[in-house]
Amino acid sequence: MLVICGDKDSDNGSSEELVKLIPHAIHANVPGDHGGAVRTVEFSEAVISFLKKQ
C-alpha cells in the first residue's frame, strides 16, 4: 500500500503513524494540501514509482 500525504495536509492525522500500522506500507510526502496534492507532478511520480516496483 502506498500512503501519500501533502506536506501541508494536517487535517487527517499523521500519515507516518498510519504507515507504521500497515505492514509493508510505503510513505510518500508530496507538496500541497488535502485537496491539492493529488494534482502535483510529485504525486504522479510517487504513484508511477510505486506501481513499477509491484
- DSSP per-residue letters across the chain: -EEEEETT--TT--HHHHHHHSTT-EEEEESS-TTTGGGSHHHHHHHHHHHHT-
Please identify every stretch of the chain with a pLDDT value under 70, giving residue numbers as ranges: none
18's CB contacts (< 8 A; 6+ apart) are 3, 25
Which residues, listed in sequence order, are joined to residue 29 by a DSSP beta bridge?
Answer: 5
Determine the pLDDT at residue 1.
96
pTM of the full structure: 0.86
Determine the pLDDT at residue 54.
79
pLDDT in tens, 31-46: 999 889 999 999 999 9
